[in-house]
Amino acid sequence: MPAQINRQFQLAKRPVGVPDRDTFSYVEVPLGEPGPGQILVKNQYLSLDPAMRGWMNDARSYVPPVGIGQVMRALGVGQVIASQNPQFAVGDTVNGALGVQDYFLGEPAGFYKVDPKRAPLPLYLSALGMTGMTAYFGLLDVGQPKAGETVVVSAAAGAVGSVVGQIARIKGCRVVGIAGGAEKCRYLKEELGFDGAIDYKNEDVQAALKRECPKGVDVFFDNVGGDILDAVLTRLAPKARIVICGAISQYNNKEAVRGPANYLSLLVNRARMEGMVVIDYTSRFPEGIRDMSGWLAEGKLKSKEDVAEGLENFPEALLKLFSGENFGKLVLKI
Ligand SMILES: NC(=O)c1ccc[n+]([C@@H]2O[C@H](COP(=O)([O-])OP(=O)(O)OC[C@H]3O[C@@H](n4cnc5c(N)ncnc54)[C@H](OP(=O)(O)O)[C@@H]3O)[C@@H](O)[C@H]2O)c1
C-alpha cells in the first residue's frame, strides 16, 4: 500500500505587509504513525484567525512565533484516527492547535474533546470555541457592562464582534456596532437586534457616533484600532472601559503600529483601557460554554460561520479577514 500523504502549508518567510501565497510553502510529506503519548488526527475544520498574521512575525507575543519551515499554526477540530495517548481514543473529536495540514501528528498539548452530536463542528470554532470565549470574557470580565449602558463594538459583524454585541444586548445594554458596508450593518440591526450600526466605509465615524451614542460610550470593545479607536476615544462617557481585544487595521502595517492620538480622553473621563488575551481564561471556559450554549438553545444568540473549502485554498481564504470579505466566523473545511 502506498504511504499516505499529508499536505501542509509551512511558513516560508516572514511577510512584510499583507501575506500572500509566497509567504507559505505547500509541501506533501509522508504520514507517520503516533509514538508514545502522541495522537494522529484527521483535520476537519481549521479556524482562520487574524492572530495568525501576528504569529508570522518574529516578535515577542503571548505565544512564540511560528518558525520558518514549521507548519503554520491554526486551531481546528478533527477526528482521532490513531492514538498512543490514554486520554484520547480513536473516534474522539478533538479541538486543538492542529496546524494548516490534512493530519495532525504529535502530542495533544492543550487539546480537548468535543461532542459532534451536540453541535455542528464549526460551532466549536466560533461561539463555543476560542472566538466565543474571547467575546464572553473580554466583554464581561474586562468591559464589565451594566444594564442601560452604551456598548460600542468594532468589526461588529465579525466572529468576535457579533457575539460581543449580542451578549451586551442579553445583559440589557444599548449596543452600537461599527462594520464595513451596508449589508453588514443591516444584518447587525435587523438580524442580531443591535440598536445602531455605523458603516465606517461609507460614513464619518465621529459624526455617526454622536448620532448613535448621545450619552457617550460606556464600553468600547475594540477589534480594529487605528482611526476607529481614535474616533471612539472622543465620545467616551465618564468611567468608560475600553477592551483592547485586537487591532486588525494595524496587523499588516509596514510601518510602526499607530497608537491612539486621543488617549488624553482617558484622563478627562477617568476611563481605562485594558488588553485581554483569551488563553488567560482557559480554566474558566466551562463557565463561558455553559452560558453560551444556553443562549444558543434559547435563540438569544446567533452564530454565523463562513465556510471556505479546501486546504489548497488556505492562503487566499486567510486574506478574506483583512479585506472584510468574511461574513461571520471564517473556517476552512478540509
Ligand atoms: N485578544 C484575544 O485573545 C483575541 C482572540 C480572538 C480574536 N482577537 C481579535 O479579535 C478581532 C476580530 O477577530 P475575528 O476572528 O472575530 O475576525 P472577524 O471580525 O471575523 O474578521 C475580521 C474583520 O475585521 C474587519 N477589518 C479588517 N481589516 C480592517 C480595517 N483595516 N479596518 C477596520 N476593520 C477591518 C473586517 O470587517 P469589516 O467588513 O467590518 O471591515 C473583517 O471581517 C481581531 O482583531 C483579532 O485579532 C483577539
**Does residue 157's CB lie within 6 angstroms of at least one atom of ligand 1?**
yes
Nearest-angstrom CA–CA distance, 278 and 141: 11
Sheet with 272-275, strands from edge to edge, namely 196-199, 174-179, 150-154, 217-222, 236-244, 272-275
Give the mean model confidence (pLDDT) for residues 246-275: 96
**Does residue 6's CB lie within 6 angstroms of at least one atom of ligand 1?**
no
Give the confidence band of 272 by pLDDT, cuts at 50, 70, 90: very high
Give the confidence band of 334 by pLDDT, cuts at 50, 70, 90: very high
Nearest-angstrom CA–CA distance, 15 and 307: 25
Give the mean model confidence (pLDDT) for residues 113-122: 96
Distance 138 CA to ligand 1 centre (A): 14
Distance 100 CA to ligand 1 centre (A): 20
**Does residue 288's CB lie within 6 angstroms of at least one atom of ligand 1?**
no
**Does residue 219's CB lie within 6 angstroms of at least one atom of ligand 1?**
no
Give the confidence band of 284 by pLDDT, cuts at 50, 70, 90: very high
The protein residue with its alpha carbon nearest to ligand 1, atom 20, reads 158
Q: Supply the pTM of this predicted model.
A: 0.97
The protein residue with its alpha carbon nearest to ligand 1, atom 43, reads 324
Distance 304 CA to ligand 1 centre (A): 15
Share of the chain above pLDDT 90, in %: 97
Please give the number of the atom of ligand 1 that sits closest to the Cα of 54.
47
The protein residue with its alpha carbon nearest to ligand 1, atom 31, reads 249
DSSP 45-84: EEE--THHHHHTSSS--SSPPPPTTSBPP-EEEEEEEEE-
> pLDDT value at position 2?
52
> pLDDT value at position 295?
98
pLDDT digits (tens, 9 = 90+) for 173-186: 999 999 999 999 99
More confident of the two residues 26 and 60: 26
Most confident of 52-61, 159-168, 249-258: 159-168
Find cell 485594558 and name the residue.
274
Give the mean model confidence (pLDDT) for residues 92-116: 97
Residue 178: name the closest of 143, 142, 144, 202 by CA.
Answer: 202
**Does residue 249's CB lie within 6 angstroms of at least one atom of ligand 1?**
yes
> pLDDT value at position 3?
66
Nearest-angstrom CA–CA distance, 54 and 293: 30
Give the mean model confidence (pLDDT) for residues 54-74: 95
Average pLDDT over the chain, rounded to whole? 97
**Does residue 246's CB lie within 6 angstroms of at least one atom of ligand 1?**
yes
Give the confidence band of 64 by pLDDT, cuts at 50, 70, 90: very high
> pLDDT value at position 176?
98
Helix 130-137 crosses helix 285-298 at what angle (to 10 degrees)? Answer: 100
> pLDDT value at position 319?
97
In the Cβ-directed half-sphere of 333, how many Cα atoms lie within 13 Å? 9
**Does residue 276's CB lie within 6 angstroms of at least one atom of ligand 1?**
yes
Distance 36 CA to ligand 1 centre (A): 39
Does residue 316 sit in helix, strand or coil? helix
CA-CA-CA-CA torsion sign (74, 79, 81, 83): positive
Distance 159 CA to ligand 1 centre (A): 8
Give the mean model confidence (pLDDT) for residues 29-36: 96
- List the grid coordinates of 150: 452604551
Please give the number of the atom of ligand 1 that sits closest to the Cα of 156.
40
**Does residue 322's CB lie within 6 angstroms of at least one atom of ligand 1?**
yes
**Does residue 326's CB lie within 6 angstroms of at least one atom of ligand 1?**
yes
The protein residue with its alpha carbon nearest to ligand 1, atom 37, reads 324
- pLDDT above 80 for 214: yes
Give me the residues paired with residue 330 across strands.
Answer: 306
- CB-based contacts of 18, cutoff 8 Å, min separation 6: 252, 319, 322
- pLDDT above 80 for 71: yes
DSSP 146-209: -TT-EEEEESTTSHHHHHHHHHHHHTT-EEEEEESSHHHHHIIIIIS--SEEEETTTS-HHHHH
Among 321, 322, 326, 331, residue to substitute to test ligand 1 (most atoms within 8 Å of Cβ): 321
> pLDDT value at position 60?
87
Q: What is the DSSP letter of 291?
A: H
**Does residue 159's CB lie within 6 angstroms of at least one atom of ligand 1?**
yes
DSSP 104-149: EEE--TT-EEE-TTTS-GGGGTTTTSHHHHHHHHIIIIII---TT-
- Indicate left, alpha or beta for 330 from its phi (over 0: left) and psi (-120 to 50: alpha): beta
Residue 127: name the closest of 282, 279, 290, 332 by CA.
Answer: 290
Q: Which is it for strands 93-97 and 75-83: parallel, antiparallel or unpaired?
A: antiparallel
**Does residue 277's CB lie within 6 angstroms of at least one atom of ligand 1?**
yes
